[in-house]
Amino acid sequence: MNEEINFEKNFVQLKELLKNNEINEFRESFLNHHLYDQSRFFLSLDPVERLEFYNLMSPKEIADIFDLFDSDDIDINPFVDEMSKEYLGEIFDSIYSDNAADLLANLEPETMKEILDSMDAEESTEVKRILHYDDETAGAIMTTEFVSIVANQTVRSAMTVLKAQAEEAETIYYVYVIDSQNRLLGVISLRALITSHDDTLISDIYNDHIIKLDVNEDQEKIAQYFRDYDLLAIPVVDTDNKLIGIVTVDDIIDVIDEEAASDYSGLAGVDTEDVSQNPWQAASKRLPWLIALLFLGMGTASLINHFDSLVSKASILAVFISLITGTAGNAGTQSLAVAVRRLAIRDEDKKNSLMTMILSELITGLITGLVTGITIFIVVSIWKHNMILGIAVGTAMFCAITVANLAGSLIPILMEKLGFDPAVASGPFISTMSDLTSVFIYFNIASLFIHYFN
């Protein structure tokens, strides 16, 4: 808390220096802050203050700030409108290519073209290439700023190349080894380069057992590679095995955050990523699913209406409707969450993995259903002094939970087969579906014991 208070005081002091046009004092104080804090300060400025800020900072210094921006969280359109296209071209020349592509992709096509035309030709080409790839693939999130050396050179010459390229590279922890056609051969760590003799050939010390990504690899799969192999960067190759970029761990952290938010949004049936929506926008995005599920829920209401004569004969049945539907819905949601997670991390043998998952959830449903059914049988038998009613409710609970567990594992698989994200809207759907099936099961079982309830 104290750090936050001190930080706010620093903001006030910096703004005062900016307002008074005390150039040297402002720059010295501002640049002494961590880059993240610099970005926070920039975002706190109003339009007038930003114009003064641009006059005091170089394009490279502003580029360092822009490099930290997440295009999904920060709209840079107001900043772009405040600067000339030439000035923006210099800024984007200094931004890492993957970050530049992300930021430019959220601009109007005409504005994006003007900025690209104002950039250095080589930098512009790299950014355009990244923009060409499909979203959420290795090509879309990779950076083209990396260090590569050829296999037939010595450590001494490789170090010369490294020193020349290091300032522009996004990371130098790994140095990639290529042949004369730019085909990826392997990787060598910075440690290995530093500790090897100057006259040693790179071909004698590089590691040819390398994890690499196809340019069209899905970002969720890439995140699994980083998790499994504990890497800081992974090279990206095209269909000819030519090295075209690298994906770094900081980009994957953003991907993990996006995927987690997306899965949570899907399970909830609502967009949780944009929390700044006004009530009308929020309602307009939630209503389609609510209306669709309302009509599905009408099936449950119709079933209850269909069994109205049964309830009129034994009104006690109405007491346990919400108990059974609620418990079955909870069981289905639990199964769904596990199924979605298993789909994300399943083995290469997909068919075997799916069958194992379904069988596992079926057995889990039988066990949880049996224990829950016996529990509610004992409770109802003692509470209502009617063992037959307890048997009916307990049996219905057992069947409803088993079916809900099975549905929770099958629905994500079905959605994936149809080409949809397994997490999208599965949560609300499974809850409504469980209501429908559990009511159907409950009343059909109850009808078998109706004569023993009175």
CB-based burial label for 47 (10 Å; 0-12, 13-18, 19+): exposed
pLDDT, tens only, 221-258: 898 888 888 888 999 999 999 999 999 888 888 777 66
Sheet holding 233-237, edge to edge: 213-214, 233-237, 243-248
The residue ranking higher by pLDDT, 72 or 328, is: 328
- Pairing, β 184-189 against β 174-178: antiparallel
- pTM for the full predicted model: 0.60
Query: Cα separation of 249 and 173, whole Å?
Result: 12
- Tens digits of residue pLDDT in 110-147: 999 999 999 999 899 989 989 999 888 999 989 888 99
Helical residues (DSSP H) of 57-181, grouped into ranges? 59-66, 77-82, 85-93, 97-105, 109-118, 121-132, 138-141, 155-165
Q: Average per-residue pLDDT in the chain? A: 84
Question: Percent of the chain having pLDDT more than 70?
Answer: 86
Helices 387-417, 321-345: axis angle to 10 degrees equals 30
Strands 233-237 and 213-214: parallel
Residue 114, Cβ density class (10 Å: 0-12 exposed, 13-18 middle, ≥19 buried) = middle
Quote the CA–CA distance of 40 and 27 in Å, as a whole number.
16
Greatest extent of the chain over all pairs of C-alpha atoms, in Å: 96
Q: What pLDDT, on the 0 to 100 scale, is given for residue 348? A: 47
180 and 224 Cβ atoms separated by less than 8 Å: no
Neighbouring-strand partners of residue 149 = 177
Q: How far apart are CA 166 and CA 452, in angstroms?
A: 83
- pLDDT 10s digits, 367-417: 999 999 999 999 999 998 889 999 999 999 999 999 998 888 888 777 777
C-alpha closest to that of 189 among 203, 204, 207: 207
Domains and CATH numbers, the chain: 2-141 (1.25.60.10), 148-256 (3.10.580.10), 279-452 (1.10.357.20)
Q: Which residues partner with 150 through β-bridges?
A: 178
